A and B are shown apart, each in its own frame.
Chain A
């Protein structure tokens, strides 16, 4: 993330790195908060899924003898990663309302006519009814809609996780989350949701990775690097106000 923090700073090295034509100009789409929360979510979710699967069906080598704290550590790592995950998700959601335009909630909900049109176009591209997706700078609108669902699943993960944690949070403020338990049908109900939603999220993660790769290739806009650098490449003079 060596990118400059402000939009107008167009540096040639960045442009060169993308092998872009002189007709393309970099445009700052993902601000620092967006990128930081994105990568915190990715990393913590990988840790959470790995430790979570080991919690559900311990596969890490069971040591013999005494003095081990195998599953104990796995759970503790899960809880620390959960702190990072919850804070990142919470910050990103707040940023949807506080941050700059391109990080805002309008990027996710297709409220404008234009985004609704692009939504259909993108869908047609995905099912191969058209060879190219519509041109967008920020999120493509279909992805935006998917992210709404994904953030819903994140919240479900956090709430079921908190509910599970509250079961044994004796004497801690985390005990307050036990009011969630009846909503999820008891601790085992919360655990079931927590487990199944993990797979939904992992399925999404694979989808997300590949479609980012695909879109970046097709659009040739540096989309894949943009989540590191913050910049995408668009044709000079093109309309930037694409989220209205």
Chain B
């Protein structure tokens, strides 16, 4: 942990964040975490006085999109500054040190804050070819991750790649990429923050919660904090009334699209995607995909690339029938084929019967007329598999066909 050697308030002011902005940020965090308004003060006090945990930010197989997400250009928000002030000891993209110096910083931070530092992991971890697909300073991502996670107070996997494998792990997964939880099993406190990229508000809220209460927020079966992933996009969506009402965008740019109808039929994955985008939105709450007429592509879900594509279709196709094959058409054809097969079978049977009947007639003409229904002797031998029907004499032809 770091000593509080500077005045947090002065530091904020020096970076252009007023006290008012800071307080409203804290109130925002409290609301985001689902805490009562009174908690804003607690959050602010914790931010100002509590020791900040050392943070090491590891980047593996990724596009640095999550880093981008919290370094968002123009004017840094309170959230970003606060993240910055969290004494990030190691972060390849933004740290000044390079080469051996940088690796030294990582090693000494892990040593100095053993058991108390927080690891943020961005990107998936390749395990194929002994981890050769991603190495830093001659060591594989897997080695680095294992070492860093071993004595961490908590590991936060940011972005879908770190949380679920993401793009690198998409079929055919050439590097055998794994999520942090799969690559480094047995992490005591793991928090997954999937999304492509992670929303910086959620990351700072997790850290603010920890600072305020000294423990980590409650998580679900995917280790995602409930405050951010407890509800689906669909259940908080501003277009939901149109979904329930059956009013849909049929094509981009049509009347329904202009009227702001539900994007379900152009592939919206909101019903199967859990995240708080409708509430906190993106780019300082400016807007979010569905708000500007684009369906949710399900970026925060497991198997994102394999399951959610094609993005403008409801479902992925059936393997072997092309990527975007229309399941419903295949299903309909298959169902019709089964029906046709049986109709054909019935027709063949009928034809056969007619044939047998004609044959029987020829032979019956010479024999004595057989009694039809009542006393067919064949009926008395039920175990015989190919008993003829009761309503006609047993034609010799039928016997002959037994295999």
Contacts and interface: CB of A to CB of B under 8 A. Distances in A.
A57 B382 contact: no
B334 A132 contact: no
B315 A71 contact: no
Given A60-B246, A135-B384, A220 B315 contact: no
Interface residues of A, number: 66
A124 B403 contact: yes
A112 to B, nearest CB: 15
Interface in B345-383: 345-346, 348-349, 352, 373-376, 379-380, 382-383
Interface string A46-69: 000000010011101111101111
Interface in A197-226: 198-199, 202-203, 206-207, 210-211, 213-214, 218, 220
A21 B245 contact: no
A192 B307 contact: yes
Contacts of A63: 245-247
Contact of A186 (B303, B339, B348, B379): B303
Contacts, number: 184
Most buried by A among B231, B246, B301, B349: B246
Contact of B376 (A23, A60, A128): A23
Contact of A237 (B221, B301, B318, B380): B380
A70 interface: yes
B382 A235 contact: yes
A187 interface: yes
Contacts of A37: none
Interface in A103-146: 121, 124, 126, 128-135
A3 B139 CA distance: 78
Given A56-B314, A210-B339, A181 B221 contact: yes
Q: Which of the listed residues A128, A129, A186, A189 has the most CB atoms from chain B within 10 Å of its own CB?
A: A186
A81 to B, nearest CB: 18
B337 to A, nearest CB: 8
Given A62-B248, A186-B272, A196-B318, A23 B390 contact: yes
A16 interface: no
A146 to B, nearest CB: 12
A137 B324 CA distance: 46
Contacts of B379: 21, 23-24, 235
B6 interface: no
Given A21-B374, A131-B401, A188 B382 contact: no
Interface in B211-257: 220-222, 230-232, 234-235, 243-248
A238 interface: yes
A65 B321 CA distance: 40
A11 B251 CA distance: 63
The CB with the most chain B CB atoms within 10 A, among A56, A124, A132, is that of A132
B389 interface: yes
A196 B327 contact: yes
A220 B392 CA distance: 12
Nearest to B343: A210
B298 A128 contact: no
A19 to B, nearest CB: 9
Contact of A199 (B248, B302, B327, B382): B327
A56 B307 contact: no
A130 B387 CA distance: 11
B103 interface: no
A38 interface: no
Given A57-B328, A63-B245, A128 B385 contact: no
Contacts of A237: 380, 382
A148 B368 CA distance: 49
A187 B383 CA distance: 52
B48 interface: no
Given A68-B246, A186-B301, A130 B272 contact: no
Contact of B272 (A121, A191, A235): A191
A24 B375 CA distance: 11
A202 B265 CA distance: 23
A202 to B, nearest CB: 5
A196 B379 CA distance: 45
Given A131-B402, A134-B385, A71 B220 contact: no
Given A121-B385, A187-B272, A203-B335, A192 B380 contact: no
A22 B374 CA distance: 7
B60 interface: no
B331 A203 contact: yes
A188 B245 contact: no
A235 B339 CA distance: 31
A234 B382 contact: yes
B339 A206 contact: yes
A167 B220 CA distance: 11
- What 7 A-B pairs come out closest when comparing CB atoms? A70-B246, A199-B331, A238-B382, A210-B342, A187-B272, A72-B244, A68-B245
19 contacts: A21-B379, A56-B314, A56-B328, A63-B245, A63-B247, A129-B403, A167-B271, A167-B274, A168-B235, A178-B221, A181-B222, A186-B272, A186-B303, A186-B307, A199-B327, A203-B334, A210-B345, A218-B349, A238-B383
